[in-house]
Structure 1
Amino acid sequence: MVPRNPKLLIIDDCEIDDKSLYINLTEYWKKLIYKRVSSISEFLAALYDSSWDAIIAEYSLPQFDALNALDLLKRSGKEIPFFIYSKNTDENNALAAIRHGACDYLYKGCSFRLVFALERELKLIDLKRKQRQTESQFFHLAYYDELTGLPKYKLFCEKASEVLSNRSAQGKIAAVYSIKIDQLPTVGNSRGYNIADALIKQFVYRLSVHTGRNCLLTRLEGGRFTFLNGEVNTLDEVQIFASQILKLGSMPFMIENLEFYISLNIAITIYPDDGSDIEVLLTNSESTLAVNKGSWKNSYQFYTKEVSEISLRRTLLSASLRRALEKNEFVLYYQPIIDVKSGQITGVETLVRWDHPEFGLLQPDKFIPLADETSLIVEIGKWVLQEACKQARSWQDAGGEPISIAVNTSAIELGQSPYLNYITEVLKKERFDPALLELEITESVLMRDADTSIKVLRELKQMGIKIAIDNFGIGFTSLNCLKKYPIDILKMDRSLTNDMTTSADSLSIVNAIVGLAKNLGILVLAKGIETQEQLDLLTKMNCNKVQGFIFSEPVTSEKLLSFIKLRKTGTFT
C-alpha cells in the first residue's frame, strides 16, 4: 500500500530550497515526514537509523554529491527509490545519474513532476513488495507444512542430503526415525480434528527442541513424522535418542483442560548401513513401520534384512491382490457360534482366506491390511458378503435349519453411500433373511465418524440386520458410550477371556461386561474359548454365546454342513 504520509530523506545544503520543497510537497501529503542532511556522516546516520520511503538529493554539494549517496545506498542493501532534484541542468549529469541507479532526474522548480515521480515509484515499490509477499507465501505453502511449519518432504530431503553428505565426509553415521502417533485417528474422531491438530502441534514443539544444524524434522501426513539425527555417533546413542522420543510422547498433553495420552511407534534406519541416501533410508524405515503394524506399541524397532524380505513380499502380495478376485483365489472358512445354554450352533463367523498360488493359504492378517491401504477391501467385502449369503442359503436348501452368518464390515465400506443398496441387492438375489445377517464392526470403525456410523447402523437395523461390535475391550469404547449405538451383540476380544481363569481382575472385568451389557439389552459373545474351565465360568455368568477351538477351528463349508445337521443334538464331535 502506498503510504499516505511518506517518509522522505532530503540531501541538500540550501535551507531556502529545502523549505520551498517542503511547502510544495505538503500540498499533496498533508502530514509529510521529512528530514534533511548535508554530509556523508549525516546521510549514513539517517539511512541506518530509520526506514525511508524515498531519498531526494541535490546533484552536487561542496562535501557530497548524489553519486556518492547512490553508492552508499547500494552498499547498504536497502531498496529505496532515489531521485535527483537539482538546479544543475547538464544533460550529461542527468544521464550519469540515471545510469548510476537514480529513478529520475528532475529540475528544481518542477515540484509537480517530482510528486508524480514519487507517486509512480512508491506504487511500483508497493507492487514489488506485494509480489514478494505472494511469492514468499507460495514458497511457504509449497515447502512447509501449514499446520506445524515444518519443512515438507521435498525440502526435508534436500536438507537431509546435505547433512548425510557432511556425515559421510566425516566418516560418521546418522539415524532416521520414522515416528507414528498411534491414537491420533481416535482422538480426531472422538474429540474433533481441532484437538488432534493441537496435539500434533504440541508433539512437534517437544520434538523441535532437539532439532538443529544436523537434526531435521518433517511431518509426512497425519500423525507420521520423520526425524533425521546427524549428531549420533554410536548405536547406543541412537537407542538413547529413541528412548527420549518415547519419553516425550509418554507425558500427558493438556488441551482445552483435558489430558491426552499417546503411544508411539518408531522405526529406525542407520546411515550408511541401511541406505546410501535419504529416500532409501525413509523407504526402509517406513517399511519397518508397515511390516510391524499392530504388533508393537510405544517402542522402537531397527530395520533389518528380514524386514526388507517381508516388505518385498508385501509388495508382491499387493500386486497380485488385484488379480485374486478375478482368478477366484479367495475362499471362505466358517467358525461355529455356540449358544451357551443349549450347546447348539446358532450361527457362524465368516472368515476369508487367500489361496495364493505361490505362498499358499494366507490368513487375513497377511492381506487385509494391504486391501485396506489400496481400497480393494470394498471389492473383497462385497465378494465375502455375497458368497456367505449364497453359502448359508445352500445349507438351508441342503436340509439344515437357518443359522445366522456374521460378516466383517470395514470403515471404508461403512462410509460409502452405495453400501446399503448393495446389501439389499445381495439379500434379495440370494433369498437370504436379513434377520440372519450379522455385520461385525470394530470399535475403531465406530469411533472414526460417530454421526455417520449411527446413521448407517440405524438404517441397517431398520432392514432387520443385526449389528455386532467385534473385538470389544481392546479399544476406547465404553459400555456407557454404546447406549447411543443400535448394537445387538458384543463380541468380547480373546485377550479378555484368556486370563480370566488365572487373574481375578480379568475375571471381574469379563463379569462386569456381561452384566452391564445385559442391562443394556445387548447379547454377549466370548471369542477364543479353548478350555472347559473358561466355558464353565462364562456359563455361570450367563454369557449368551461363545466361539473358539474348544468347539471347532474355522472349517470349510462342507465340514460345517455336517455340524449344522447335528444342531438339534447339541453335539459336535
Structure 2
Amino acid sequence: MVPRNPKLLIIDDCEIDDKSLYINLTEYWKKLIYKRVSSISEFLAALYDSSWDAIIAEYSLPQFDALNALDLLKRSGKEIPFFIYSKNTDENNALAAIRHGACDYLYKGCSFRLVFALERELKLIDLKRKQRQTESQFFHLAYYDELTGLPKYKLFCEKASEVLSNRSAQGKIAAVYSIKIDQLPTVGNSRGYNIADALIKQFVYRLSVHTGRNCLLTRLEGGRFTFLNGEVNTLDEVQIFASQILKLGSMPFMIENLEFYISLNIAITIYPDDGSDIEVLLTNSESTLAVNKGSWKNSYQFYTKEVSEISLRRTLLSASLRRALEKNEFVLYYQPIIDVKSGQITGVETLVRWDHPEFGLLQPDKFIPLADETSLIVEIGKWVLQEACKQARYWQDAGGEPISIAVNTSAIELGQSPYLNYITEVLKKERFDPALLELEITESVLMRDADTSIKVLRELKQMGIKIAIDNFGIGFTSLNCLKKYPIDILKMDRSLTNDMTTSADSLSIVNAIVGLAKNLGILVLAKGIETQEQLDLLTKMNCNKVQGFIFSEPVTGEKLLSFIKLRKTGTFT
C-alpha cells in the first residue's frame, strides 16, 4: 500500500531550499516524515538507523555528491527510490545520474513534478512488494503443507536427495520412516475434522523436535508422514529412533479439554540397502505399510524382499480386479446361521470369493481392501447383493423355506445417494422380501459419518430391511450408539467367543453383551463357534443365533439348498 505519509530522507546543505521543499511537499502530504542530512556520515547513520520510502538528493555537495550516495545505497542492499532534485541543469549530469541508478533527475522549482515522480515510484514499489508477497504465497502453497507448514512431497524429495548424497559420500546409512496414525479417520468422523487436524498439528509439533539439517519430515496425506533420519549410523540407532517416535505417539493429546490416544504404524527402509534414491525408499516403506495393513499396531516393521514380492502380487491383483467382474470370476459362498433354541437354519451370511485364474480361490481379505481403495467396491457390492437375492429366490422356488440372507455393506456404498434406489430395484427384480434381507455394517463404517449413517439406516428400516452390526466388540461402538442407531442384530466378533471357555473375563464380557442387547431389544449372533462347549455356554446365556464351523463351513449355493431342506427336522448338524 502506498504510504499516506511518506518517510523521506533529504540530502542537501541548503536550509532555505530544504524548507521550501518541505512546504511544497506538505501541500500534498499533510503529515510528512522528513529528515535532512548534508554529509556522508550523517547519510550513512540515517540510512542504517531507519527505513525510508524515498531519498531526495542535491546533485553536488561540498563533501560528497549524489553519485557517491547512490553507491553507498547499493552497498547497503536496500531498495529505496532515489531522486535527484538539483539546481544543476547540466544534461550530462542528469544522464550520468540516471545511468547510476537514480529514478529521476528533476530541477529545483518543479516540486509538482517531484510529487508526481514520487507518487509514481512509490506506487511501483508497492506493486512490486505485492507481487513478491503473491509469489511467496504461491511458492508456500506449492511447496508447503497448509495445515502443518511441513515441506510437501516434491520439496521433501529434493532436500532428501541432498541428505542421501552427503551420506553416500561419507559412506554412512540413512533411514526412512513411513508413519501412519491409525485412529485418525475414526477421530475425524466421530469428533469432527477440526479435532483431527488439531491432533495432526500436535503430533507434527512433537516430531518436529527431531528435525534438522539431516532430518526431514513431510506429511503425505491425512495421518501419513515420512521422516528421513540422516543422523543414524547403525541399525540399533534406527530402532531406537523408531521407539522414540512410538513414545511420542503414546502420550495423550489434549484437545478442547479432551484426551485422545493414538497408535502408530511405522515402516522402515534403510539407505542404501533398500533403495538407491528417496523415491524408491519411500515406495518400499509405503509397500511395507500397505502389505501389513491391520496386522500390527503401535509397532515398527523393516522392509524385506518378501514385502516386495507381496507388494508386486497386490499390484497384479489390483490390475486384474478390474477385469474380474467382466469375466465373472467372483463366486458366492454361504455360511448357515442357526437359531440356538430350535437348531434350525434361519439365515445365511453371504461371503464373496475370487476365483482367480492364476492365484486360485482367494479369500475376501486378499482383495476387498484393494477394492475398498477404489470405487470397485461399489460394483462388487452391487453384484453380491443381486446374486445373493437371486440365489435366495432360487432356494425358495426349489422348495426350500424362506430364510434371511446377510450381505456386507461398505462405507462407500452407504455414503452414495443411489444406494437405496439400487437396493429397491434388486428386491423388486428378484421378487425378494425386504424383511429377509440383512445388511451387515461394521462399527468403523458407522463411525465415519454418523449423521449420514443414521439417515440411510432409518430409510432402510422403513423398507423392512434388517440392520446388523458386524464384528461387534473390536471397534469403538458405545452404549449410546446402540440406542442411537436403528440396529436389529449384534454380530459378536469371534475374538470375544474364542476365549470364553478358558477366560472368566471373556465369559463375563460375552454375557454382558448378550444381556445388554436383550434389554435394548436387539438380537445377538455369536460368530466363529467351533466347539460344543462354546455352544452350551451361549445356550445358557440365551444367545439368539450362532454360526461357525461346528455347524458348517461356508458352502456353495447348491450344497446349502440341501441344508435348507433339513431345517424342518430341527436337527441340522
Task: Give the TM-score category using the shorter length.
Answer: over 0.9
Q: For structure 1, which segment, 256-265 or 8-17, has the greater mean C-alpha deviation from structure 2 after superposition?
A: 8-17
Q: After TM superposition, give the deviation of residue 500 of structure 1 in Å.
A: 1.1
Q: After TM superposition, give the deviation of residue 173 of structure 1 in Å.
A: 0.7
Partner of 1:23: 23
Question: How many Å separate the matches in 1 of 2:74 and 2:514?
Answer: 82
Q: After TM superposition, give the deviation of residue 69 of structure 1 in Å.
A: 1.0
Kept in 2, the 8 Å contact 1:270–1:281? The answer is yes
Q: Deviations over 1:213-248 (max 9, x none)?
A: 001111110000111111111111111000000000
Kept in 2, the 8 Å contact 1:178–1:282? The answer is yes
Q: Deviations over 1:460-496 (max 9, x none)?
A: 0011000000001111111222111110000011111
Q: For structure 1, which segment, 305-314 or 562-571, has the greater mean C-alpha deviation from structure 2 after superposition?
A: 562-571
Question: How many Å separate the matches in 1 of 2:275 and 2:570?
Answer: 60
Secondary structure of 1:487's partner? coil
Secondary structure of 2:464's partner? coil
Q: For structure 1, which segment, 31-40 or 259-268, has the greater mean C-alpha deviation from structure 2 after superposition?
A: 31-40
Q: Which runs of 5+ in 2 are unaligned?
A: none
Question: How many Å separate the matches in 1 of 2:473 and 2:551?
Answer: 23
Q: Deviations over 1:34-73 (max 9, x none)?
A: 1111111211111111111001111111111111111111
Kept in 1, the 8 Å contact 2:89–2:107? The answer is yes
Kept in 2, the 8 Å contact 1:12–1:61? The answer is yes
Q: Deviations over 1:148-188 (max 9, x none)?
A: 01111111111111111111111111111110000000000
Q: Deviations over 1:307-347 (max 9, x none)?
A: 00000000000000011011110000111101111111100
Secondary structure of 1:31's partner? coil
Q: Deviations over 1:430-469 (max 9, x none)?
A: 1110000000000111000000000000110011000000
Kept in 2, the 8 Å contact 1:333–1:557? The answer is yes
Kept in 2, the 8 Å contact 1:179–1:224? The answer is yes
Question: How many Å separate the matches in 1 of 2:518 and 2:48?
Answer: 80
Question: How many Å separate the matches in 1 of 2:228 and 2:552?
Answer: 50
Q: After TM superposition, give the deviation of residue 571 of structure 1 in Å.
A: 2.4
Kept in 1, the 8 Å contact 2:70–2:100? The answer is yes
Question: How many Å separate the matches in 2 of 1:123 and 1:378?
Answer: 58
Question: How many Å separate the matches in 2 of 1:241 and 1:433?
Answer: 58
Q: After TM superposition, give the deviation of residue 499 of structure 1 in Å.
A: 1.1
Partner of 1:67: 67
Question: How many Å separate the matches in 2 of 1:250 and 1:51?
Answer: 50
Question: How many Å separate the matches in 2 of 1:403 and 1:51?
Answer: 85
TM-score, normalised relative to structure 1: 0.99
Partner of 2:401: 401
Secondary structure of 2:373's partner? helix
Secondary structure of 1:367's partner? helix
Question: How many Å separate the matches in 2 of 1:517 and 1:84?
Answer: 90
Kept in 1, the 8 Å contact 2:443–2:476? The answer is yes
RMSD between superposed Cα atoms in Å: 0.8
Q: After TM superposition, give the deviation of residue 305 of structure 1 in Å.
A: 0.3
TM-score, normalised relative to structure 2: 0.99
Question: How many Å separate the matches in 2 of 1:292 and 1:62?
Answer: 82
Question: How many Å separate the matches in 2 of 1:64 and 1:472?
Answer: 88
Q: Deviations over 1:104-133 (max 9, x none)?
A: 001111111111100000000001111111
Question: How many Å separate the matches in 2 of 1:325 and 1:63?
Answer: 91
Secondary structure of 1:457's partner? helix
Question: How many Å separate the matches in 1 of 2:172 and 2:514?
Answer: 58
Q: After TM superposition, give the deviation of residue 572 of structure 1 in Å.
A: 2.9
Question: How many Å separate the matches in 1 of 2:178 and 2:532?
Answer: 45
Question: How many Å separate the matches in 2 of 1:131 and 1:416?
Answer: 44
Secondary structure of 1:564's partner? helix
Moved over 2 A (4+): 570-573
Partner of 2:418: 418
Q: Which runs of 5+ in 1 are unaligned?
A: none
Kept in 2, the 8 Å contact 1:479–1:517? The answer is no
Kept in 2, the 8 Å contact 1:288–1:302? The answer is yes
Kept in 2, the 8 Å contact 1:470–1:493? The answer is yes
Kept in 1, the 8 Å contact 2:343–2:572? The answer is no
Q: After TM superposition, give the deviation of residue 570 of structure 1 in Å.
A: 2.4
Secondary structure of 2:477's partner? coil
Kept in 2, the 8 Å contact 1:491–1:525? The answer is yes
Question: How many Å separate the matches in 2 of 1:332 and 1:284?
Answer: 34
Kept in 1, the 8 Å contact 2:493–2:528? The answer is yes
Equivalences, count? 573
Partner of 1:474: 474
Where does 1:66-85 land on structure 2 (aligned, <5 Å)? 66-85=66-85
Question: How many Å separate the matches in 2 of 1:480 and 1:26?
Answer: 73
Question: How many Å separate the matches in 2 of 1:373 and 1:548?
Answer: 29
Question: How many Å separate the matches in 2 of 1:288 and 1:564?
Answer: 44
Q: Deviations over 1:367-399 (max 9, x none)?
A: 000001121000100110011001111111111
Q: Deviations over 1:274-332 (max 9, x none)?
A: 11111111111110000000100000001100000000000000000011011110000
Secondary structure of 1:480's partner? helix
Question: How many Å separate the matches in 1 of 2:449 and 2:327?
Answer: 35
Q: After TM superposition, give the deviation of residue 76 of structure 1 in Å.
A: 1.3
Partner of 2:224: 224
Question: How many Å separate the matches in 2 of 1:7 and 1:17?
Answer: 18
Q: Deviations over 1:189-235 (max 9, x none)?
A: 00000000000000000010000000111111000011111111111
Kept in 1, the 8 Å contact 2:161–2:277? The answer is yes
Kept in 2, the 8 Å contact 1:153–1:219? The answer is yes
Kept in 2, the 8 Å contact 1:331–1:353? The answer is yes
Alignment partner of 1:196 is 2:201: no
Question: How many Å separate the matches in 2 of 1:512 and 1:66?
Answer: 92
Q: After TM superposition, give the deviation of residue 146 of structure 1 in Å.
A: 0.6
Secondary structure of 2:479's partner? coil
